[in-house]
Amino acid sequence: MNFELVQKGNWSYYRAPELEAAGIVHGFFTRASPLLASYGRDGKAFLDAFALQRFVVMDQEHGDAIHLIRDGERAIHGDGIIMIERNAAGIVKTADCLPIIIADAGSPMAGIVHAGWRGTVRKITLKAVQKMMELGAARENLIVLMGPSIGSCCYEVKEDVYSIFDNRGFSGKVFRRSGDAVYLDIREANRELLLREGITGIYDVNLCTYCSGGLFVSYRRGERSSRQINFVSIKG
């Protein structure tokens, strides 16, 4: 499954065309897209562009809370959304953390999580997958898309973060060392969680928010007030 960069109106985003063709509308937005705050109270331009009725966005907490959206529910705080309701978008905001879309087009059901290092050690991606399977998604049908995030090329962390991951059972593959510096591979850490659960349909856009030529907002690059959005929805 490949990714393509799409321009739709004011929105520039990456998507997997095969998943879109299966009825899962989604996107990992670049910094060229409007900020979420600019969408207005109801985000009419965004909703019209993607033929949606509403969107759900949370105050993110770098945790592992996941919300189920079926019949007009809202989610106030958390870092994961599972969509069963059609024509509604679940949104997470990122600026170096990893956005992950999980979908079973056959159910149909789709989830999206915001996986920073804290959410990753709390295994938010694994918990979202398990919750979706409890709701009827089939393990063998699950497709996981990893969006742009800071890469192991640039994500230097302290030894205390290394120890936390080590104590939570992650392998040494999720880190690399260069001299005295330690770098975290947040994508590999989430891939480990998924593979342990038997999820193999994992696809990575493999773009670093820090060093991809300014294509994305990066918190580590000093951009503290902006976020790009990532969304998933089930076509009605």
pLDDT, position 3 = 98
pLDDT, position 29 = 96
- Give 38's pLDDT tier (boundaries 50, 70, 90): low
User: Is the confidence at residue 113, as pLDDT, over 80?
Assistant: yes
Q: How far apart are CA 229 and CA 158, in angstroms?
A: 28
User: Is the confidence at residue 232, as pLDDT, over 70?
Assistant: yes
User: Is the confidence at residue 63, as pLDDT, over 70?
Assistant: yes
Nearest alpha-carbon partner for 34 in 228, 233, 232: 228
- Give 83's pLDDT tier (boundaries 50, 70, 90): very high
Higher pLDDT: 209 or 49? It is 209
Residue 116 lies in a domain: yes
Q: What is the pLDDT of residues 165-188, one digit of tens each?
A: 999 999 999 999 999 999 999 999
- Are 192 and 174 contacting, i.e. CB atoms less than 8 angstroms apart? yes
Instruction: Tell me the two tokens of residue 80.
Output: 């994961």
pLDDT, position 9 = 86
SS3 117: helix
What is the domain-level CATH number for residue 190? 3.60.140.10
3-state helix, strand, coil in the chain (%, to 5): 25, 35, 40
Residue 146 lies in a domain: yes
Q: Which residues contact residue 216 at a Cβ distance below 8 angstroms, ignoring those fewer than 6 apart? A: 30, 31, 95, 148, 207, 209, 228
Q: Which residues contact residue 203 at a Cβ distance below 8 angstroms, ignoring those fewer than 6 apart? A: 1, 3, 16, 143, 144, 145, 146
Residue 67 lies in a domain: yes
User: Is the confidence at residue 32, as pLDDT, over 70?
Assistant: yes
Residue 213 lies in a domain: yes
Mean pLDDT over the full length of the chain: 95
- Give 56's pLDDT tier (boundaries 50, 70, 90): very high
- Are 136 and 195 contacting, i.e. CB atoms less than 8 angstroms apart? no
User: Is the confidence at residue 41, as pLDDT, over 60?
Assistant: no
Residue 203 lies in a domain: yes
* Amino acid at position 148, single letter: P
Count of domains observed in the chain? 1
Residue 134 lies in a domain: yes
Nearest alpha-carbon partner for 56 in 65, 67, 44: 67
pLDDT, position 224 = 82
Domain housing 184: 9-234
Residue 3 lies in a domain: no
User: Is the confidence at residue 37, as pLDDT, over 80?
Assistant: no
Residue 174 lies in a domain: yes
Mean pLDDT of the region 58-64: 96
